[in-house]
Structure formats: structure tokens, C-alpha cells
């Protein structure tokens, strides 16, 4: 894939978002839009903008888009519980960058590494900051 084609795919990469929950409930259709800029310093802001439509405000997999997806979104609030009481930070960072088989990278769920790169002027340090701040935010919403 040439660089221009890759750049266009990343810049115009689809992000699952919804114009209105009410209209979504009737159509069960996911509206795809280009990724929007958010603060790289705020894991909470990035989660709200990029993840909550599917994973829900509290990470339980109950976002307004969840019922329209072929594969239900994971309950991100149980990552620590499901991993023997240890939050899998490195694994989550890898999945954000590279994708999750059957989810991230599918038509329903984009791989965030290239999308974060597109809103970070291809600055790998900024992409890493984005990934780690989302990881830290996910760690903060773990069920007790």
C-alpha cells in the first residue's frame, strides 16, 4: 500500500460514533465519521470520544452502539478481575496499537495505533502518550 493511500485510510479511518442515541435505537445503524482530535493528556477525554459509544460510559460494554455490533464489546471494567487481579497494562497497550483479533481492526472496531498517529502528526512519542493515558484511564475504572 503506498504512503498516500495509507495516509488517506488513516485520516479518513472510520470511528464508531452516533449522531443521536434516539435515532440509533430505531435504525441500529452505526454512523462512521473521521477521528476527531482530543487531548493526548486526557485518557478520560479520549475514552469518552473514542470508546464509550461501544464500551459504555463505565466500560461495561453497554454503549449505545453495542447492540448494533456483530461481536459485543468487552466489559473493560473487568480487565483486572479477568486477569487474576492484575491489570494487564502492557497487553492493553499492545491491543490499542495493533488491534484485537475479531474486534479491533474489524469493520466494527478500528485499530487505534494508526488513528492516534493521524491525530498526532505521526509523532510516535505522542501516540505512545495517547495509548498510555487510555490504559491508565482503563485501570482507573476497574471494578473493585
Average pLDDT of the segment spanning 127-131: 95
pLDDT for res 2: 38
**Is residue 58 a contact partner of residue 141, using CB atoms and an 8 Å limit?**
yes
**Residues in contact with 5: Cβ distance below 8 Å, sequence separation at least 6, in sequence order:** none
**Residues in contact with 118: Cβ distance below 8 Å, sequence separation at least 6, in sequence order:** 7, 10, 11, 13, 35
Number of domains in the chain: 1
Q: Which of 6-15, 59-68, 83-92 has the least mean pLDDT?
A: 6-15
Q: Which residue has the higher pLDDT, 130 or 2?
A: 130
Q: What is the mean pLDDT of the chain?
A: 79
Band of residue 63 on the pLDDT scale cut at 50, 70, 90: very high
Which range has the top average pLDDT, 7-11, 37-41, 106-110?
A: 37-41
The CATH number linked to 23 is: 1.10.760
Chain centroid, CA 122 distance in Å: 18
pTM for this entry = 0.75
pLDDT for res 9: 37
Domain residues for the domain of 32 are 3-140
Compute φ and ψ for 106, nearest 5 degrees.
Answer: -85, 180
**Residues in contact with 91: Cβ distance below 8 Å, sequence separation at least 6, in sequence order:** 83
6: burial class by Cβ within 10 Å (0-12, 13-18, 19+)? exposed
Amino acid at each position: 500500500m503506498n504512503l498516500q493511500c495509507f495516509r488517506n485510510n488513516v485520516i479518513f479511518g472510520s470511528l464508531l460514533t452516533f449522531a443521536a442515541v434516539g435515532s440509533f435505537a430505531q435504525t441500529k445503524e452505526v454512523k462512521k465519521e473521521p477521528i476527531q482530535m482530543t487531548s493526548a493528556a486526557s485518557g478520560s477525554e479520549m475514552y469518552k470520544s473514542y470508546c464509550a459509544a461501544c464500551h459504555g460510559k463505565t466500560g461495561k460494554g453497554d454503549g449505545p452502539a453495542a447492540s448494533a455490533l456483530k461481536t459485543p464489546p468487552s466489559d473493560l471494567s473487568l480487565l483486572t478481575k479477568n486477569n487474576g487481579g492484575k491489570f494487564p497494562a502492557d497487553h492493553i497497550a499492545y491491543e490499542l496499537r495493533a488491534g484485537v483479533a475479531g474486534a479491533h481492526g474489524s469493520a466494527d472496531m478500528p485499530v487505534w495505533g494508526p488513528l492516534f498517529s493521524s491525530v498526532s502528526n505521526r509523532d510516535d512519542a505522542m501516540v505512545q502518550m495517547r495509548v498510555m493515558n487510555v490504559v491508565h484511564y482503563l485501570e482507573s475504572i476497574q471494578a473493585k
